[in-house]
Amino acid sequence: MNRFDGRRVLVTGGGSGIGQATVLRLLSEGGRVVAADVSEAGLEDTRTAAGPLSGQLTTLTMDIGDEESVKQGLAQAVDGLGGLDVLINAAGILRSSHTEKTALDLFEQVIRVNLVGTFLVIREAIPHLRASSAPAVVNFSSTSASFAHPYMAAYAASKGGIQSMTHALASEYAKDGIRFTAVQPGSISSGMTDGSGQSKQSQGPGLPQDADFSLFGKLTPALGEGFAGPEAVAGVVAMLASDDGKFMTGTEVRIDGGTHF
């Protein structure tokens, strides 16, 4: 199945976790992919994982929380690809703490990277997506946007903002033919959501040592024991970004094994 033959794709957060799994999935379906990440080591790991498909892959160091880095990175990605058809905004960080003990700079860091960073990448990409014959953007929200995940107020706020922004953008750019959708991962094993509260890209504090796990409700996915791998989300992202998702825009898809009903 080569749904991405001839398609030019930028994936942020492509150096680890679900972003890396998405890069590998789109490469396997024929896409030409630029993987962007703040971690050079993570990007090297992605290139190694791509193996014989690495000829379709370009890696790019980019900090989505920095406006100038985004401007330069988008220009470099588009120049290398010769245009842009698909944007996948997978980059993000998770920080957990008791809300009353959360420093303002930590709260703002999460909002800056997750929400503002997603906005910056989209803003710079829109002129190039307009020139595509079938442009698509897939943003990363989270089950945290709709369900209670204690100690993660900043993260929930950022992901709720991304979800709302996705709807607004889908309406604003429908006449330009740009589709905007979002995924809501939950119960997915990755550097960010393996229970440590840490991101492979940028290590931060995990859940508080005195975290009350009774606040989390049902932790086990209804479809079986344990978390799913990041490839479970990558497959849905590939569908949304391909022609199979051409009648989908302004909506989100929850991928959590039935952890939240």
Catalytic residues: 155
Whether residue 2 is contained in a domain is answered as no
Residues 65 and 220 sit within 8 Å (Cβ to Cβ): no
For the beta carbon of residue 119, count every other beta carbon within 10 angstroms: 18
Whether residue 89 is contained in a domain is answered as yes
DSSP element (H, E) containing 240: helix 231-241
How high is the pLDDT of residue 206?
Answer: 75
Whether residue 103 is contained in a domain is answered as yes
Whether residue 260 is contained in a domain is answered as no
Number of domains making up the chain? 1
CATH number of the domain residue 86 falls in: 3.40.50.720
Domain residues for the domain of 178 are 8-255
- Residue stretches of the chain with pLDDT short of 50: 195-205
Residues 145 and 188 sit within 8 Å (Cβ to Cβ): no
Q: Which residues of 152-185 are buried (b: 16+ CB within 10 A; e: fewer)?
A: bbbbbbbbbbbbebbbebbeebeeeebbbbbbbb
Rg over alpha carbons for the chain, rounded to the nearest Å, is 17
Whether residue 261 is contained in a domain is answered as no
Intra-chain end-to-end CA distance of the chain, in Å? 32
Whether residue 165 is contained in a domain is answered as yes
How high is the pLDDT of residue 199?
Answer: 39
How high is the pLDDT of residue 193?
Answer: 54
| CA pair distance 105, 141, nearest whole angstrom | 22
How high is the pLDDT of residue 204?
Answer: 46
How high is the pLDDT of residue 195?
Answer: 43
C-alpha closest to that of 86 among 29, 147, 150, 1:
29
DSSP classification of residue 114: I
How high is the pLDDT of residue 192?
Answer: 64
Whether residue 65 is contained in a domain is answered as yes
**What's the order of all strands across the beta sheet hosting 136-140?**
57-61, 32-37, 8-12, 86-89, 136-140, 179-185, 251-255
Place of tokens 């991101």: 199
